Amino acid sequence: MDIKIKRLIKDLTNSDDDLRALSAMTLMKLDFPDRGTREEVLESLITATGDRNISVRFFARKAIDKIRKTEKLLKSGEEPATGEKIAEGLISTEYEDRLAAVMEIKTGKLAQYRDQLIQMLETEEHAFVRAALISSLKQFIDKQQAGILSRFLNDADNRVRSNTIEALEVLGVEESIPSLFSALSDPDNRIRAAAAKALQAFGEEKVFTELKKMLESHEEWMKGSAIYALSHIQAGEAIELLIEAARVSTHAETRIKAIVALANYHDATAWGFLKGMGTNGEGVFKETANRALKLMEEKFGPDAPSETMVSAPKEEKLAPPAAVHKGSDEGAMEDIASAVSKFFRQGKEEAVGLSNKASLSFSVTDLRKEIDELYKEAGRTVFDFYQAGELGLPDLLTVGHEILRMNFFIQKYAEEEEKAAEKKPQGFFEQLKGLFAKSPEQKKSASQGERFSKRRDELFLKLGQMSLKKYGSGEYQPKQLEPYYANLQKLQKKVDSEQKKQ
């Protein structure tokens, strides 16, 4: 028996409903000259008539009828000509017959039916047949004729959409790139994976070029699709394009989407831009930037990123502050945002364009971060007392118990995280494929170790705050906490002083 037929018989028992239906349908259109093969196929098809899926049962019965009719024809020597059978099938009122005819054309690569298939595609009502027509036509048409397929990217049936994406990939239709980015947010996982695979085939340079065009488009759906895709590409160019959209887009919703998208990057350039917008922005943009910073902190932790994926221009020198025309709020915002971006890449001393108020705000923020770090260090010291059995206060003991529990979970997931990291996609397109081939639930639970580490840091902070508060009230005063308490007093005075200047 031919290995392809063996595979089809095996697929009749696959757990995937679509694959079983396709197997039964394919067996229905095949001819089996060998009697032994016919009998074995027939036995498997009879079993398939009890399948839970109605499509599998239907095609299995049709295949059985065909095999039995073929046996009768062979006995009488009246087997019909293949060409006549296909011609009759294409004009049949039964969609099963049309589907079988189209699949036979595809399998046999019968290019003489191309024009008839194109004509059928314009009027075909059944989704199964439309999907098969598109899958067949990609063999018989060229890039210039691919326009007849593009409209099916929005078809209601997921098989039709998936087959259309694959066909456009095979034909190399670069004009379809914007629609493929839109398909990355399709509710069907198979569509998302097919779109990511197709984008890989077009190449990174063409994709970024098209994304830039999409961001400049007058169509809001194209801008939204571009921002969604960019937010999941870990590359410096993606950050630059998002910042540009967040700064200069004329549509408020586009700017907001771009600002939120930057929260996906633990990157100094993205963080610096958001910080500047959150301090010097206006209205909803300022509010959105602060929300994005909070999202970034929740995702990556409280520490500001110190590195950036954005490549600095060659021999770049810090330019003097650009003149800002009075009355031009838009220009002022761009200058400030640009300066803030440099602020975090080149240091406070080299930053230009920041207002005095913004600088003071950053100073207060830095001091508060320093206080939080001091609390954490104090918390770690008190946790050492806990582990040594030297901590007796009930409320501090409760926090110590919780930190110990976090340590257990962190250790538990450490090995799993290392294994996952080894398999993590690294390339530009591998990121897309990995991202859109997984369900949101899988992505959400992919880093348990990081989640517990973050929770442990929060508990160290809490333990330090509680302990130093008790130290100040005289309730709990171990000598090891004395330097922490003294430094805390100094930092709090600095915060008060800076706030009075604002």
Residue 388 pLDDT grade (very low, low, confident, very high; cuts 50, 70, 90): low
Nearest to 46 by CA among 16, 24, 72, 71: 24
pLDDT, tens digit, for every residue of 442-492? 444 446 777 888 888 899 999 999 999 999 999 999 988 988 898 898 888
In angstroms, how far is the first alpha carbon of the chain from the final one? 85
What is the predicted pLDDT for the residue at 319? 39
What is the predicted pLDDT for the residue at 461? 93
Q: Cβ contacts of residue 311 below 8 Å, gap of 6+? A: 236
Among left, alpha and beta (phi > 0; psi -120 to 50; other), residue 307 is beta
C-alpha 47/C-alpha 24 separation (Å) is: 11
pLDDT, tens digit, for every residue of 351-375? 223 334 444 444 556 678 888 888 9
Estimate to the nearest angstrom the gap between the alpha carbon of 486 and the chain centroid.
47
The pair of structure tokens assigned to 90 is: 């294409």
Domain boundaries, the chain: 234-309+329-354, 358-436+447-501
Mean pLDDT on 189-200: 76
Average pLDDT, the chain: 77
Nearest to 414 by CA among 380, 451, 439, 388: 451
* pTM, entire model: 0.39
Q: Is 346 exposed, middle or buried (0-12, 13-18, 19+ CB in 10 A)?
A: middle
DSSP string, 383-441: HHHHHTT----HHHHHHHHHHHHHHHHHHHHHHHHHHHHHHS--SHHHHHHHHHTS-HH
The pair of structure tokens assigned to 106 is: 């595809």
